[in-house]
Structures are given as C-alpha cells and as structure tokens.
Amino acid sequence: MALKRAAFVCLSLVALTACGQTEPGKTSAAYARMLQALYRNTVPTVGPAALAKELSEPVKPQLLDVRSPAEFRVSHLRGARFVNYDSLANEQFAGLDRSRPVVVYCSVGYRSERLGERLQALGFRNVRNLYGGLFEWVNQNHPVYNAQGATLDVHPYSALWSPWLKNGRKVYE
C-alpha cells in the first residue's frame, strides 16, 4: 500500500511539473517536492556530493542497497552490499559493523528510508539515507558499477519512476 502511495505521488508530480535538472549538481525542484512528499524524515539524509567526498576518505561508510536483485545487477554504488527489500523485516544484518556509519539507498530513497528505520530499531545509531537515492546520485554525475566495472546503465525501477532519472542509460533487466 505504501509503495502505491509513493507511485501516486510520483505520477502526480510528473503530471504537474517538468522534472528536469535546473542546475548541475542540484536537485530539481519537482524532484525535491516529490521526495518531500515521500520521505517520513525518520532517517537523516546525506546528499550525493557529501557522500562522494566521504567515499574518497580512508574510512568509508558501509553502503547498503535495498533495491531488487535485478536493479542491483544493472548497477550500484561501488562496494555496496545488497539487501533485498522483500526480506527486510527478517534481516538481522549479521556481519555489519555497528560502530561504523551506514548509508542506505534505493532508487529514490523511499525503500531505503524503511531500511534505515529497521537498522535504527536494531540499535544502529549512525544511519543515513542517500538523498534522492541512486537516481539523484547518477543525475549529479557520480559513477555506478556492475559486475564488469563502471557502467552508465541504471535500472529505472519502472516506467512510472523513470522520468526522474535524467542521466545514465535506462536498462530494465
């Protein structure tokens, strides 16, 4: 039901406004409005530029990608660990270092906010959600990877959500 609400919000905003980038490195106003409607603000966010800087440091945050297996196969952030959204409620995150920061992401940040809430409930204290998700990461020209290395391919989740992805090559696996 929540994903249906999210889809309705997205469709409404796409219908009402153009969702193009206004400035390089800046979130479009329409995308920001859509995210504001979707997010519960239960998990702090980190912007793509700030995360890119953190990922260049010697001690990097742990990255958790909570999309579908097909989405993850098409592309993901380098070093990200896959977490299947469909089994989120049962995941205990064994092997994840609770003393290190964690950044969660999905396509736009809705599913990853649910993951962040789950991690917080399990006692993780330094959890952040990638603002705008993988779409905003790619829209701001940050790299993504697959099993073969760097790629321009991005899974747009669905035709409904694909207008928010402005950069990259849309690939439905």
Q: What is the pLDDT of residues 68-79, one digit of tens each?
A: 999 999 999 999
Residue 114: name the closest of 37, 43, 9 by CA: 43
Q: Answer whether residue 12 shows pLDDT above 70.
A: no
Strand ranges (E), 14-77: 45-46, 62-65
Residue 83 pLDDT grade (very low, low, confident, very high; cuts 50, 70, 90): very high
Strand ranges (E), 72-135: 81-82, 102-105, 127-130
Q: What is the pLDDT of residues 35-60, one digit of tens each?
A: 999 999 999 999 999 999 999 999 99
Q: Which range (38-42, 92-96, 124-128, 164-168) has the least confidence?
A: 92-96
State mean pLDDT over 133-156: 98
State mean pLDDT over 148-155: 98
Cα–Cα separations (whole angstroms), residue 41 to 29, 62, 67, 77, 82: 18, 21, 19, 23, 23
Predicted local distance difference test score (pLDDT) of residue 15:
41
Predicted local distance difference test score (pLDDT) of residue 23:
53
Q: Answer whether residue 18 shows pLDDT above 60.
A: no
For the chain, the domains span 2-170
CATH class of 2-170: alpha beta
Instruction: Name the token pair of 82.
Output: 């896959």
pTM: predicted TM-score of the whole model, two decimal places:
0.87
Predicted local distance difference test score (pLDDT) of residue 92:
87
